[in-house]
Amino acid sequence: MKFPAPLSVEWLSGFLSAETHGSIDLQLTGINEIHRVEKGDLVFVDHPKYYATCLNSAASAIIINTANVDIPAGKTIFVVADPFEAYLKIVQHFRPFSAATQAIDPSLQAGEGTYIAPHVTIGKSVVIGKNCTIHPHVTIADHTIIGDRVVVQAGTVIGSDAFYYNTKKNRDSWYKRMESCGHVVLENDVEIGAQCTIDRGVTAATIIGAGTKMDNLVHIGHDVTVGRNCLFAAQVGVAGGTTIEDGVTLWGQVGVSKTLTIGANAVVLAQSGVPSSLAGGKTYFGYPAEDASLKRRELVWIKRIPALWKKVMED
């Protein structure tokens, strides 16, 4: 999430009631999670396991729960008792909940030739390009950006909150939602089927690349990047933070785990499971998804086991 205007270290220190160390002259332009940080960003960390990762990331400032760390040159740390609560305070300040008063927010910017059917719900600060078709009962959440010639079929939800929780065993509720302040981008010529769900980024964007087509009942998790001209059949599910490169085909009921990469022009056959990254330009099948030709041979040998066992016993 980008801030409306750059924030000074002094202002943010006072806002968070934080102890500050390091550079005091920074101007902070946004807040991001560790997988998406850029120069100028603020990130939070509350576990020693991840201190070094955050301190040595592209982030310019780190919200942390100890001052006993080595601060890289040119960076700032904000020391607070609970960095996660500090993150929530920032998000709630800059992206506060605001109840809708009508189905389509008046801030909508829609291009020439775009058709929006009855019973569509559109949130605040949404941009839709030219010659798009938005079918009935679609929900498009705040800050979504949609390109030209995009089709969204009935009942789909674009921009639902990320399934992303901070886990602590020492409180009544183990799972506390990490509030989403990111958004969704659908590039030109994307088509989304009926009853699909595309989660917005936690702090950045979930991106569906130009020309990609999705069948019905597809789920795309938070902060996923889908490349250009991909094809997803029905009931595909992609977990958060995953990168799917250009030209990938996922056939029906393929499940893809989080924070991995599927290389360009890979094909994953129906009902396969992808727990780790796959190289591009190959066809995969099974769980865990492997080269389809090898997997087929394996299945053939599995079918031969009873006969082989019988022969062994007879001998």
Question: What are the pLDDT digits (tens) for 193-219?
Answer: 999 999 999 999 999 999 999 999 999
| Cross-strand pairs, 226 | 208, 244
CATH topology of domain 109-293: UDP N-Acetylglucosamine Acyltransferase; domain 1 (2.160.10)
Q: Please report which confidence band the pLDDT of residue 311 belongs to, taking 50, 70 and 90 as the band edges.
A: confident
Q: Rounded to two decimals, what is the model's pTM?
A: 0.92
Distances in Å between the Cα of 163 and the Cα atoms of 142, 193, 197, 198 are: 17, 21, 12, 11
Three-class DSSP category at 92: helix
Q: Is the pLDDT of residue 170 over 80?
A: no
Higher pLDDT, 304 or 90: 90
Domain extent listing, the chain: 2-94, 109-293
**N- to C-terminal Cα separation, the chain:** 70
Tokens of 301: 């040998």
Q: What pLDDT is recorded for position 275?
A: 98
Average pLDDT over residues 218-231: 98
Assess contact for 246 and 263: CB atoms under 8 A.
no
- Is pLDDT at 23 greater than 90 in this prediction? yes
Query: Mean per-residue pLDDT for 243-267?
Result: 98
pLDDT digits (tens, 9 = 90+) for 263-274: 999 999 999 999
**Token pair 């389809």 in the structure block, residue:** 292
Q: What whole-number distance in Å separates Cα of residue 132 and Cα of residue 190?
A: 10
Over residues 41-70, mean pLDDT: 95
Q: How many whole angstroms from its chain centre is CA 288?
A: 23
- Name the residue among 270, 272, 309, 306 with its Cα closest to residue 290: 272
**More confident call, 166 vs 183:** 183
Q: Which CATH class is domain 2-94?
A: alpha beta
For residue 61, the model assigns a pLDDT of 97
pLDDT surpassing 90 at residue 72 = yes
Q: Give the C-alpha distances (Å, rounded to integers) separating 36 from 161, 225, 257.
A: 17, 12, 18
Contact (Cβ atoms closer than 8 angstroms) between residue 61 and residue 44: no
What is the distance of C-alpha 313 from the center of its chain? 54
Answer yes or no: is pLDDT of 183 > 80.
yes
What was the pLDDT predicted at 166? 83
Query: Do the beta carbons of residue 207 and residue 183 sit within 8 Å?
Result: no
- For the question of residue 119 being annotated catalytic, the response is no
What was the pLDDT predicted at 228?
98
pLDDT beyond 80 at 87? yes
> Which DSSP symbol is given to 134?
E
Q: According to the model, what pLDDT value does residue 306 have?
A: 87
CA distance 137 to 157: 9
Of the candidates 123, 150, 145, the one whose C-alpha atom is nearest the C-alpha of residue 134 is 150
pLDDT for 175 equals 87
Report whether pLDDT(312) > 90: no
Residues 288-301 have pLDDT tens digits of 999 999 988 888 88
Q: Name the token pair of 76.
A: 């700032």
pLDDT band at 314 (very low <50, low <70, confident <90, very high): confident
- Classify 256 as helix, strand or coil: strand
* Residue of 135, 143, 219, 222 marked active site: 222
Which pLDDT belongs to residue 82?
Answer: 94
